[in-house]
Chain A
Amino acid sequence: MLSIKSLTANVEGKEILRGIDLEIKPGEVHAIMGPNGSGKSTLAHILSGRDGYTVTGGEVSYMGINLLQLEPEERAQKGVFLAMQYPVELPGVNNMTFLRESMNSIRKARGEPEIDTLSFMKQVKEKARLVKLDEKLLKRSVNAGFSGGEKKRNEILQMAMLEPNLAILDETDSGLDIDALRTVADGVNMLRSADRGMIVVTHYQRLLDYIEPDRVHVLAGGRIIRSGGKELALELEAKGYGWLLEEAAA
C-alpha cells in the first residue's frame, strides 16, 4: 500500500533523508527505530505533508497514487493518519466538534453521508472508554491543558474514530509511564487489521514489547542501515545503536 523509493529530503538546506526505500503491505506493522536526529520524525512528517521539508528526490506511492503531491487533508481523507509526538493544543476548539468535523470531511471525500449525532456520540464514548480517555476531556478544547498521557490517548482515540488505512505513530511512547504506554499500545493493537498498514516510529524498544512489529528498520544518518524481523529490536535493546552505526560506517 505504501512504497517509498530513494526518498531524499532537506530541511533549511540541510540534508536529512539521504535515500529511503520502504515497502509496506496491508496488515503489516513496521517499526522505524534509530538514534535521535536520524530522520525518523522527518520521514513521518513528510508522509503526512507537513510544511518545512523539501523533497529533493525519490517517490512515495500510496495505494497507487503519488502521495507527495497531495495536501495534508487530502492525505487524511485518503486514509493517512499521523499520531504526533507533540499533539497540538487548540484552545477554544471543542474536542468532539473537531472529531466530528474531521470524520465528516473524510466521509464526504469518500462519498459517504455524514454521521448522525446519535451514532457519533455512541461511537466516541465507546472508543474513549477503550483508550481510557476520561469522558470529560471530550467536552474540553482539543488537547488544551491535557497531560502528556491524555494527549496521546486522545491521538489514539482520533485514530480509532477516523479508521485510517495507513497509521503513522511518531514517538507515541515518549513521555508515557508504563500504564499509559500499555493503554496506548492496546488501542493500537485493537486497530491492527488485515487491510491497515502501520508505521511505528520509536527511539526505544519498550513500545515494541506491546506492539509486535512485522518488520524493524533502523534509520541512521538519513538512511535505513538495517532491516530485520522483531528480533532486531531486541538486539538493539541489548546492544544499543553503536555497533550498527560502526558497521554501517565500515
Chain B
Amino acid sequence: MNAPLEEYKSKARNSIECLMKPDDGLFDRRLAALARFEELGYPNPRLEAWRYTSVEGLLKQDFATPPADITVNQLEVETHFLKQPLAGRLVFVDGLYQAQLSECQHTGIKISSLKSALAEGNRRVLEAVGSQTGLGEDGFAALNLAGFQDGALIQVLEGGKLSAPIELLHLTSRQATGCKIPTRHLILMETGADAELIERYQSLEEGIGSFNHLVYEISLAESAQLTHKRLQMESDQAYHLSDIHIALQARANYRGVNAAVGSRWSRTVLHNRFMQADAHCELDGLYLVSDGQLSDYHLDVDHQVPHCTSRENFKGILRGSGRAVFDGLIQVGELAQKSEAHLHNANLMLSRRAEVDTKPQLMILADDVVCSHGTTVGQLDQQAMFYMRSRGLNEEQAKRLLCQGFIADVVERFEDPELIEILNQRVSFQETLAES
C-alpha cells in the first residue's frame, strides 16, 4: 500500500506542477489539498464510509496522468449527441474540454471550461472552487482538488429559465485506458434560475479501463431549480468516483436522477446541504451490477435548517458476482424543526454469488420532524412469476419484465424518452435467466 501511495503522491505533485504554468490562481489551495491528502492517505475499510468498499483494486490499476493531447474523431463523438433541442452542450473527451464540439445557444446561461475561467482570473469562480468541499473529507477528495485538470463551469443567470436541457457529455477513448481523469464541475444556479442538466459518462469502446474521478460543487441560490440527470454507463472495465456536493438556499429545489449501469467499480456520493429554509431535494437512483462489478451509492442528506423536505429512492439489481453498497444517511440538526425526510432503498438479488450491503441511517436531533427510511433485499416474487407464465410468457420474459418493473419508478424519473431509450439499450436483462 505504501509504495503505490508514495508513487501516486509524486505523480500528483508532478501533474500539479504541470498545471502551474501559468498559475491558475489555485496554487496555494492545491498545495494545501496535497498536504491534506498526505495526512489522510487513501481510505481504508476502518473508515465507516469505506467499510464495504475496497479501493485496493483501484490502486492496483496504478492509473497514470492522461495525455494532454489527443486526437478526437469529431464525427464519432457527434454520434453520441442527444438528438433533441438543447440550450447548450459541453463535451469532454478523456477529460479534455472540446470547445469546437461544445456550444451554447441560450441567453440565460454561461458555459465554459473551468480551466479557462480560472485562467481568465474569474474572481467568482476562483472563490467558488473548494468553497463547498473544503480541502476534502477523504484522500480522494483532497487529491481531486490538488490535481484536477479541468471541468465544466455552468452558470445559469438570475431568473434564467431554460426551455431546453443542457447536455454534459463525458467520453473516454482508447487513449485514456490506464489513465485517471480528475475533473471538477462547478454549477452555479443564480436566484430563480431554472435548468435541466443531462449528463452522461460513456466509453467509446468496450474494454476501456479509465478512472473518471469527479468532484461537483453545485449551488442553488434562492428559488433556483435544477434537474440533474446523470447516466454513468462507462465500459465494464472503467472506474468511476463522483463526489457531488449540493447546497440549497431558501426555496431552492434540486432533483437528481442517477443511474450507474457500467463500470467495474463505481462510487457516487451525494452530499445535500440545506443552507436555508423551505428548500427541497429529491434523489433517485438505480444501479445494476453483474460479474465483477461493484456499485456504491452514498447519500448524505443534511437538514440543519427548518422546513426543508427531502425524498430519496434508490433501487438496485444484482446479478452474477456483482456487489452493491448503499449507505443513506439522513441528518436532522437541532434547529431543523419541521423537517421531512424519507428514504427508500430496494435490492433485487438474482444470483447466488452476488452480495449487497445496505445501511440506511437516521440521525435526528430535532423533535418536530417526520423521518423514515426503509430498505429491502429480496428476489423476484414467485407468485408474480407464475401469474406471468400462466399468461404465456416464458421464464426469461417474465423475469425481464419484473426487473424492468422493479426499477420502473426510477426510470420514469428520467422523463425524457430519448434518455430512457439510451438507458434501455444499455440495460438488458438477457442474462438474468442463466444465473439463477
Are A and B in contact, CB atoms below 8 Å, in the complex?
A: yes
Q: A51-B386, A88-B383, A90-B387 are in contact. Are A102 and B405 (CB under 8 A)?
A: no
Q: A101-B397, A105-B392 are in contact. Are A72 and B405 (CB under 8 A)?
A: no
- Pair A92/B384 contact, Cβ less than 8 Å: no
Which residues of A110-149 have CB atoms within 8 Å of chain B's CB atoms? Answer: 141
- Pair B388/A106 contact, Cβ less than 8 Å: no
Cross-interface CB contact of B392 among A87, A91, A102, cutoff 8 Å: A102
Complex Cα distance A98/B397, Å? Answer: 10
- Pair A90/B402 contact, Cβ less than 8 Å: yes
Comparing A60-68, A76-84, A238-246, the segment that makes contact with chain B is: A76-84
- Pair A106/B405 contact, Cβ less than 8 Å: no
A93 interface residue (CB < 8 Å to B)? yes
Q: A90-B384, A93-B401 are in contact. Are A72 and B408 (CB under 8 A)?
A: no
- Pair B404/A76 contact, Cβ less than 8 Å: no
Across-interface contacts of B407 in A (CB, < 8 A): 92
Q: Residues 139-171 of chain A: 1 if any B CB is under 8 Å from the residue's CB, otherwise 0?
A: 001000000000000000010001000000000
Closest chain A residue to B412, Cβ basis: A92
B120 interface residue (CB < 8 Å to A)? no
Cross-interface CB contact of B393 among A84, A89, A91, A101, cutoff 8 Å: A101
A202 interface residue (CB < 8 Å to B)? no
Q: A92-B408, A93-B408, A102-B393 are in contact. Are A72 and B401 (CB under 8 A)?
A: no
Across-interface contacts of A72 in B (CB, < 8 A): 386, 389-390
Closest chain B residue to A45, Cβ basis: B386
- Pair A105/B387 contact, Cβ less than 8 Å: no
- Pair A93/B392 contact, Cβ less than 8 Å: no
In the complex, how many angstroms separate the beta carbon of A227 from the nearest chain B beta carbon? 27
- Pair A73/B393 contact, Cβ less than 8 Å: yes
In the complex, how many angstroms separate the beta carbon of B66 from the nearest chain A beta carbon? 40
In the complex, how many angstroms separate the beta carbon of B311 from the nearest chain A beta carbon? 18
Complex Cα distance A72/B390, Å? Answer: 5
| Number of residues on chain A facing chain B (CB within 8 A) | 32
Q: Residues 363-387 of chain B: 1 if any A CB is under 8 Å from the residue's CB, otherwise 0?
A: 0000000000000000001111011
Q: A88-B383, A92-B405, A92-B409 are in contact. Are A76 and B397 (CB under 8 A)?
A: no
- Pair B386/A91 contact, Cβ less than 8 Å: no
Q: A92-B407, A93-B408 are in contact. Are A87 and B401 (CB under 8 A)?
A: no
Complex Cα distance A162/B408, Å? Answer: 25
A97 interface residue (CB < 8 Å to B)? yes
Complex Cα distance A90/B385, Å? Answer: 10
A222 interface residue (CB < 8 Å to B)? no
Of the candidates A75, A77, A93, A109, the one having the most CB atoms from chain B within 10 angstroms of its own CB is A93
Across-interface contacts of B56 in A (CB, < 8 A): none
- Pair A49/B392 contact, Cβ less than 8 Å: no
B391 interface residue (CB < 8 Å to A)? yes
- Pair A73/B402 contact, Cβ less than 8 Å: no
- Pair B395/A84 contact, Cβ less than 8 Å: no
- Pair A93/B393 contact, Cβ less than 8 Å: no
Closest chain B residue to A76, Cβ basis: B392
- Pair A109/B405 contact, Cβ less than 8 Å: no
In the complex, how many angstroms separate the beta carbon of A120 from the nearest chain B beta carbon? 15
Across-interface contacts of A8 in B (CB, < 8 A): none
In the complex, how many angstroms separate the beta carbon of A84 from the nearest chain B beta carbon? 7
A235 interface residue (CB < 8 Å to B)? no
Complex Cα distance A71/B384, Å? Answer: 15
Across-interface contacts of A106 in B (CB, < 8 A): 392
Complex Cα distance A158/B356, Å? Answer: 37
Complex Cα distance A94/B388, Å? Answer: 12
Across-interface contacts of B402 in A (CB, < 8 A): 90, 93
Q: Name 26 A/B residue pairs within 8 A (Cβ), A-sorted.
A: A48-B390, A49-B390, A51-B382, A51-B386, A71-B394, A72-B386, A72-B389, A73-B392, A73-B398, A76-B390, A82-B390, A90-B388, A92-B405, A92-B409, A93-B405, A101-B397, A101-B401, A102-B388, A102-B391, A102-B392, A105-B392, A105-B393, A105-B397, A109-B392, A158-B391, A162-B391
Nearest first, the 6 closest Cβ-Cβ pairs linking A and B are A92-B405, A92-B408, A93-B405, A76-B392, A72-B389, A88-B387
Beyond contacts A73-B389, A89-B384, A90-B401: 18 other A-B pairs, Cβ-Cβ < 8 A, are A50-B390, A73-B391, A73-B393, A73-B398, A75-B390, A76-B392, A81-B390, A90-B405, A92-B405, A93-B405, A93-B408, A98-B401, A102-B391, A103-B392, A109-B392, A141-B408, A158-B391, A162-B391
